[in-house]
Amino acid sequence: MNEAPLELIEKYLDRVRLYLPIDSEESLVEIRTHLLEEAESIGNGSITRGSAMMAIERFGDPKDAANALAGTGTRIGPVPTEYTQPLMRMIIVIVAIAAAFLVGAYIIGLTFPDWFSFTNYPIGIPFVIVQLVIYAFIILGIIYLVKRETAPTEKTAVEELLGIGSGAFKPKARTDALGDMIGGAVIGIIMILPQLRITLSPEFLVFADIIAVLMFSGAIKGVLFFVYGENNLNLMFEIFLSVAWVILCVGLINIGWGFDYLWSYSNGLGWYMTSMTELMNLIPFLSGIFDAIWAFIIFIIVVVSIWQTLMGITKISMYLQAEKGWWWTGNFGESHLFRRRPFRRFRQ
């Protein structure tokens, strides 16, 4: 509990953010400025731990503040108004993760044990749902008992759970957009280099140009996100690319390991090409390893692409609901790297 005063304010804002619709960063910046000035005023010109806490307490309960600010008053069935936002985000995230992994597994041809069938289907489904709800309540009850007293800056047990979905809806960080930009351009260039192309199998070579185009398009997407932040048109572009990657992966999975040669280096010979067939003849299990690596790469690409597609669709519909239109200079999220304390302090 020996946190810096600014850290307390950030923690409080994290709690408020949980209950707000996506793209509420401007409101949070406004509240942040308010809290800083109020803490300064209470602390006679300097922000102390005590003055920060007092400013936070004066601002009120994060749930009430967020609800007053968002003020939609929407209710989903029996769920109290204040929990609809985080609950909806959590459900979407869980469904999206499940869908991404299932599609990824399906494309690389993984078979599942018979997890999803019930012997007494469909009668068993309501029982299973009731069972899961009971488990959820038991877990929540235990967490609540363990963590009953919380400061205004500490998330409650329920908020910890509901917070699972919040991170996924933050806008893309500028550093991530920069990564897309540089990564896309570099891999795109590599894909068109003759030195690489001669190593590819004839089957993979068919796809090489398409991959290069998708990589360069990914770089353009990075530039758009880097300069204009997150908006519906940029998200649409990302969805289009993600879908294209999934379609491409359906083809790529059938060709197996896509390289016929590997570049090697020796002091005497310099750079030379080693035939994969020769290597595989020498080491019999190598073929299986390379095929597994190939399947794993494709699995990751599909999972990420499906995730981006589902998140993108959800975000677009949320932005349209908030009457944001298609194009605007959007916000930037915080990179996970920069959320670490030393960086945070540096930025402040």
Partner 1 sequence: MSKKEKTVLEEFERWSKEVKRGAASLAILAVLEQEPAYGYEIVKRLSEKVSFLKLEQGTVYPLLRRLADKRGLLVAEWNYEDPTKPKKYYSLTPEGTKALEMMTKTWSVLSAEMNNLLEGDGLQ
* Cα–Cα distance, 334 to 304 (Å, whole number): 19
Among 9, 31, 100, 252, binds partner 1 (CB under 8 A): 31
What is the CA 229 to chain-centroid distance, rounded? Answer: 16
Contact (Cβ atoms closer than 8 angstroms) between residue 246 and residue 342: no
Stretch that binds partner 1, among 56-64, 155-163, 171-179, 234-242 (CB under 8 A): 56-64
Stretch that binds partner 1, among 28-36, 192-200, 261-269, 327-335 (CB under 8 A): 28-36
Based on the shown chain and the rule CB under 8 A, indicate whether residue 65 belongs to the binding site for partner 1. yes
Binder to partner 1 among 50, 60, 80, 288 (CB under 8 A)? Answer: 60
What are the helix (H) ranges across 108-201? Answer: 124-146, 157-162, 174-192, 194-197
Q: Is residue 71 a contact residue for partner 1 (CB under 8 A)? A: yes
C-alpha of 180 from chain center: 14
CB of 69 to partner 1, least distance (A): 5
Q: Tell how many helices (H) and how many strands (E) occur in the chain.
A: 14, 2
Closest CB 223 distance from partner 1, rounded Å: 24
Candidate list 69, 99, 161, 192; residue touching partner 1; CB under 8 A:
69
Amino acid (1-letter code) at residue 255: I
Q: Which stretch binds partner 1 (CB under 8 A): 58-66, 74-82, 159-167, 282-290?
A: 58-66
Closest separation between CB of residue 33 and partner 1, Å? 5
Could you tell me the two tokens for 64? 């009430």
Site size toward partner 1, by CB under 8 A: 20
Regarding 320 and contact with partner 1 (CB under 8 A), the answer is no
CB of 218 to partner 1, least distance (A): 31
Q: How far apart are CA 294 and CA 87, in angstroms?
A: 37
Nearest Cα residue to 41 out of 51, 49, 31? 51
Contact stretch for partner 1 (CB under 8 A) within 52-60, 124-132, 164-172, 281-289 = 52-60
Q: How far apart are CA 175 and CA 334, in angstroms?
A: 8
Nearer to partner 1, 31 or 157 (CB): 31
Backbone angles phi, psi at 333, to 5 degrees: -85, 180
Distances (CA, A) of 289 to 251, 256, 259, 275, 294: 20, 11, 13, 16, 9
Residue 348 CB, shortest distance to partner 1, in Å, is 6
Residues forming the site for partner 1 (CB under 8 A): 26-27, 29-34, 36-38, 58-60, 64-65, 68-69, 71, 348
